[in-house]
Chains A and B, each alone.
Chain A
Amino acid sequence: MMDAGRHPNIEVLTNSELTHLDGRAGSFRATVRKNPRYVSEELCTGCGLCIDDCPVIVPNEFEVGMGARKAIYSPFPQAVPNTHIIDREHCLNDDFLVCNNCLNVCDRNAINFDDPGEEIRLDVGAVIVATGFDVYNASAIPSYGYGLYHNVLTNMELERLLNATGPTRGHIVRPSDHKVPRKIAFVQCVGSRGEGREAGCQYCSRFCCMNAIKDCLLVKQHESDIEELMVFYIDVRAAGKGFEEFYQRSLGMPELKYVRGRPSKIIEDPQTRDLIISVENGETGEVSKVRADLVVLSTGAVAAASNRDLAEVLGINLDENSFFEVEPRYGSPLHTAREGIYVCGCAAGPNDISDSVAQGSGAAAEAEVFTAKLPAEEEPLVKEELDISGPPRVGVFLCHCGINIAGVLDIEELKEVAKNIPDVVYVEDNLFLCSDEGQRLVQEKIVEHRLNRVVAAACTPRTHEPIFRESCDQVGLNPYLFEMVNIRDQCSWVHTKVPKIATKKARDLIGMGVARARHLQPLYRKTIPVNQSVLVIGGGVAGMCAALELEAQGMKVYLLEKEGRLGGILNNLTRVYPANLSAFELARTMVEKIKASRVEAMASTEVNSITGFVGNFDVSTTNGNFRVGAVVVATGAHIYKPQGEFGYGRFENVITNQELENILHESKDGIHVNGKTPGTVLFIQCVGSRDTEKDTGCSRFCCPTTIKQAIRLRENGVNVVVLHRDVRTVGAKAEEHYRHARELGVKFIRYTPERLPHVSGRDQRAEQVEIRELALHQTLEIDVDYVVLAAGMVPNEQSTAKLHDILKVPLGADGFFMERHAKLGPVESTTEGVFLAGCVSGPKDIADSIAQGAAAAAKVASLISHDTVALEPTTCVVDQTLCRACGRCVEICDYHAPSLVEVAPGLKAAQINQALCKGCGTCASWCPTGAIAAMHFTDEQIDSMMEALLAG
């Protein structure tokens, strides 16, 4: 959030809405209504004095009504911009008696009750809709008693209770008596997967299963007294990378019990306020009443109420659930029917975080095609550098931050102390040092007093260091000669009631800051040239999508495919769910686009080696050598080949989903195998997936694939039975297809890994499948003509192992490539300049792979669309005269920045590649000879702080 707020190319318009849009892709004209916030974004520093003085207390929406806020407030602690807003509905100034407290207390005159708001016009090339979702209103299901019974909460409310900054500071308590509950019940699918009278929505909300599992683990962590956690569910849908493993881990928790069954009603015991849940156990068929101290309803996602108006303004359609409709033609989840308008995240339907992030980046890539090339970021004025030679001349600047600091700490005392610290030649204080006036003061004094080190004692470097550094830079003082001392967030705000002790602490902190400043060294950002071409490895759907997006942005793209033709797994499919697109058509369209483009597609080509670093990779292939600035790895995965499970290989009529896909592909009218329509086809799910021994997770695509095939078979008069562990139809429209399949008469029977179905037959034909039906307590014997195994996805071991060696991207326990961050960096790898797209990082379906292809393209573009990339100088540096080449640094660095090189004949020493080093300093702490210095956090700098504090 803060990154977006600070980015030079991003203007954040909050409290605003789009009211009109005309024009077309590439040249839209948008009208935006900026609603008044009554507090000036330019003047407000977010100091919070007005909040303290506001007399009005209203429920806090961010705390789902469980906490309070004032009428002037920040929506939540880390809100961007850090500007308050006045809720005029509750503000007293609209009453007969005018309060004006906030107006009077604000030193910056930031408050304006006459703020009319603003209407602005923008010329934009493309529009991305990322408006998210609303939470289902649980009181719409009266039989669960939400809003009626005290101790029935929603998952959103529990999230706030679990939060350390929430209304209970992270304690789980029952609203009725504020006691820690002993027994908590989670009810899944509240408002999702609806049936009957209290239906809610028909689709699956996708994230609630994982959310409940995570909350169970957290609840137990927060309150060790909890004795029992129950989850009432229909299917546990742990369908995402690492999700199944997480679910399996939760099964090991003795307190946690999963009960398959959807409660019919919940009633409250009026004496104890405990809750009694009526539920039929789907596994035993037993109907029971279960008592719980607290019930958490896992409410799903519904379309945002604002979607209807926004869709009208944008001229696009909503689907039957009022989410934004995706144009199915492209097979991509990002396109709407109107060119230049893209949708991502929950605006188009429920999504989890990593998919939303990938879609966000993907939508950016699509939008970039229509946006004019941005002007390069302003060339920084090259200032003549100040002469910093000679002993340190430190200037100390103290910020009052209104009364945030000065109201607690004794600024005069701090000034006196600072003046007496060795090498301090100038001390000054200011009401708001971060204001333009404050920054000008710092700049003037640097020049006037020939300061060569600057210390600001103010708020936190995490937010304000960049501002000061820039000011230093503007007058020619190297920005790394600036040091910030945190006397607000970590001092005056947290020791408010002990001003004298807090002042003593601030004295120490300033002393430490000055000591460190004396040891600071100027550092220079090195820029390295960037080669503006890209290597995409893998010509499947993700790779092709990435290549096309990058080419559309004018980059030179090399697309490598190991096989003889492009298309990957798409070549083996018939129809692609959810829109039932022809896989052949989709592949053909993409391949033709590639052929018509300037993408250099190389079939039957493999990578030999890749050397170099971000911006400059030298690639050697079986088809020539070239240099690129970035690499996208999209080598996909394999479909698991069953190893004799369920008679595969022994019986000729036991086949996989993929083999069935070929049969379906060849059947034109009806389904014929050897001229006959099969009588019964039985599917067995999770073959090669969800195997805890083999570390395989859920492959995610097999449930919808089976259902897609089952529908096709059923429509042609075939009897279909599906044996499953959980039906995991989490993708767009997948739950609706599942419902449709059941309506058509496809039978779904659950099995557990403890009692696997048994396939028996004679000669080479399977004839019968035996399955224990749990609820009926009966073993069923089903005569079959075909058994179809839903084989999951496994890593393409050969290619991942090879690329792992070449690119140094780590592999996870499941054998797939690891992303930079499971949630926030789904298409980035830990190696800078190397990106991941599609199944190479875990099983995905076509739509998700397309989104990831586009997302990787966006990430590549933001990296290499500039001619150069600036390297942060706060990296580690080796003094090779001290190095004895032990190689510890090489072993421990996860970024492969250090390497041993020959510095003289027969003499080796470590060397750190600045382009790869992230500056964590871990190698410096491990180096046994002290040869490695972590720049800006050197041993001397840290030692000097301790000396100032302890020896002073």
Chain B
Amino acid sequence: MARKNPSSKKKAAKEGFVPNIVAFACNWCSYAGADTAGTNRVQYSPNFRIIRTMCSGRVTPGFVLKAFKLGADGVLVSGCHFGDCHYIFGNYRAVEQFDKTKALVKTLGLDERRVRLEWISAAEGTRWGEIIDEFVAEITSLGPSPLNHKPKSKK
């Protein structure tokens, strides 16, 4: 299995660590932005998996904690820019939820850089790619999550 990641840092290649990243994307802006990245053939790191929700406000701290419990190394939550939310203020609720998430993540002893909240619009395909690259590089440099009990057991 190829372990080389085209855009992450050299360090990652050296250590052979490929992070598990879960990205929650809202249906209207961020998921659409990821589609736009495709339409424009933006090439970026494949080391993340998207879970679509209707709104970033749907992402409870529970989802994020569950992801870490199951061995994720990083979690991205992304929604619409302020003022663009399909549900008016859902992204403001996401901010409130995210603050709690962050506090809980810290309480668990995890580095708070392992969770990130971003606003990406349907038009911002390039930005989607850049943010994923950046986040993948950051999580790679942070190394495996201390809660990730079986880093080597992935298929």
In the docked arrangement, what's the CA distance between A498 and B136, Å?
Answer: 16
CB pair B126–A505 under 8 Å, yes or no, is no
Q: Which of A489, A508, A894, A950 contacts B39 (CB 8 A)?
A: A489
Interface string of A894-914 (1 = CB under 8 A from B): 110000000000000000000
Q: Which of A932-952 contact B (CB under 8 A)?
A: 934, 937, 939, 942-943, 945-947, 949-952
CB pair B58–A946 under 8 Å, yes or no, is no
Q: Which of B32, B40, B50, B97 contacts A165 (CB 8 A)?
A: B40
When distances are taken between beta carbons in the complex, the residues of chain B under 8 Å from A952 are 155
| Best-surrounded residue of B4, B20, B58, B93 (most CB of chain A within 10 A) | B58
When distances are taken between beta carbons in the complex, the residues of chain B under 8 Å from A920 are 54-55, 57-58, 86-87, 90
CB pair B39–A493 under 8 Å, yes or no, is yes
Interface string of A304-340 (1 = CB under 8 A from B): 0000000000000000000000000000000000000
Number of interface residues of A (CB under 8 A): 55
When distances are taken between beta carbons in the complex, the residues of chain B under 8 Å from A918 are 87
Q: Which of B20, B44, B59, B97 contacts A950 (CB 8 A)?
A: B20
CB pair B38–A493 under 8 Å, yes or no, is yes
When distances are taken between beta carbons in the complex, the residues of chain A under 8 Å from B55 are 920-922
B10 interface residue, CB < 8 Å from A?
no
In the docked arrangement, what's the CA distance between A494 and B126, Å?
Answer: 11
B139 interface residue, CB < 8 Å from A?
no
In the docked arrangement, what's the CA distance between A934 and B87, Å?
Answer: 14
CB pair B43–A922 under 8 Å, yes or no, is no
Q: Which of B30-70 contact A (CB under 8 A)?
A: 31-32, 34-44, 46, 49-55, 57-60, 62-63, 66-67, 70
In the docked arrangement, what's the CA distance between A892 and B58, Å?
Answer: 12
Closest to A170 in B: B126
When distances are taken between beta carbons in the complex, the residues of chain A under 8 Å from B126 are 164-165, 169-170
A34 interface residue, CB < 8 Å from B?
no
CB pair B97–A925 under 8 Å, yes or no, is yes
CB pair B32–A77 under 8 Å, yes or no, is no
CB pair B123–A500 under 8 Å, yes or no, is no
CB pair A894–B87 under 8 Å, yes or no, is yes
Closest to A516 in B: B51
A400 interface residue, CB < 8 Å from B?
no
Q: Which of B49, B53, B124 contacts A509 (CB 8 A)?
A: B49
CB pair B63–A494 under 8 Å, yes or no, is no
CB pair B70–A947 under 8 Å, yes or no, is yes
Closest to A493 in B: B38
Report A872 CB to chain B, min CB distance, Å. Answer: 11
When distances are taken between beta carbons in the complex, the residues of chain A under 8 Å from B58 are 920-922, 924-925, 934, 937
CB pair B71–A950 under 8 Å, yes or no, is yes
Q: Which of B41, B71, B90 contacts A496 (CB 8 A)?
A: B41
Interface string of A119-154 (1 = CB under 8 A from B): 000000000000000000000000000000000000
When distances are taken between beta carbons in the complex, the residues of chain B under 8 Å from A501 are 2, 4-5, 46
A258 interface residue, CB < 8 Å from B?
no
In the docked arrangement, what's the CA distance between A952 and B70, Å?
Answer: 10
| Best-surrounded residue of A164, A505, A926, A943 (most CB of chain B within 10 A) | A164
CB pair B1–A925 under 8 Å, yes or no, is no
Closest to B124 in A: A164
When distances are taken between beta carbons in the complex, the residues of chain A under 8 Å from B63 are 942-943, 946
A165-B35 contact in complex given A77-B40, A498-B2, A501-B2, C-beta closer than 8 Å: no
Report B8 CB to chain A, min CB distance, Å. Answer: 11
A165-B36 contact in complex given A512-B51, A921-B53, A922-B55, C-beta closer than 8 Å: yes
CB pair B39–A77 under 8 Å, yes or no, is yes
B16 interface residue, CB < 8 Å from A?
no
B72 interface residue, CB < 8 Å from A?
yes
In the docked arrangement, what's the CA distance between A618 and B37, Å?
Answer: 48
When distances are taken between beta carbons in the complex, the residues of chain A under 8 Å from B36 are 77, 165
Report A690 CB to chain B, min CB distance, Å. Answer: 22
B140 interface residue, CB < 8 Å from A?
no
In the docked arrangement, what's the CA distance between A925 and B129, Å?
Answer: 27
Q: Which of A495, A894, A945 contacts B43 (CB 8 A)?
A: A495
In the docked arrangement, what's the CA distance between A220 and B30, Å?
Answer: 23
Please, could you name 26 A-B residue pairs with CB atoms under 8 Å apart, sorted by A?
A164-B126, A165-B125, A462-B32, A486-B50, A490-B34, A491-B46, A494-B41, A494-B43, A494-B46, A496-B41, A497-B43, A502-B46, A920-B57, A921-B53, A921-B55, A921-B58, A922-B87, A925-B59, A925-B97, A926-B60, A937-B58, A942-B63, A946-B67, A949-B70, A950-B67, A952-B155
Which 4 A-B residue pairs are closest in the complex by CB-CB distance? A489-B38, A922-B57, A921-B58, A950-B70
Known: A498-B4, A500-B1, A950-B67; 15 extra A-B contacts, CB below 8 A, are A489-B37, A489-B39, A490-B37, A493-B41, A494-B42, A494-B43, A497-B6, A501-B4, A501-B46, A504-B46, A508-B49, A874-B54, A895-B87, A926-B60, A949-B20
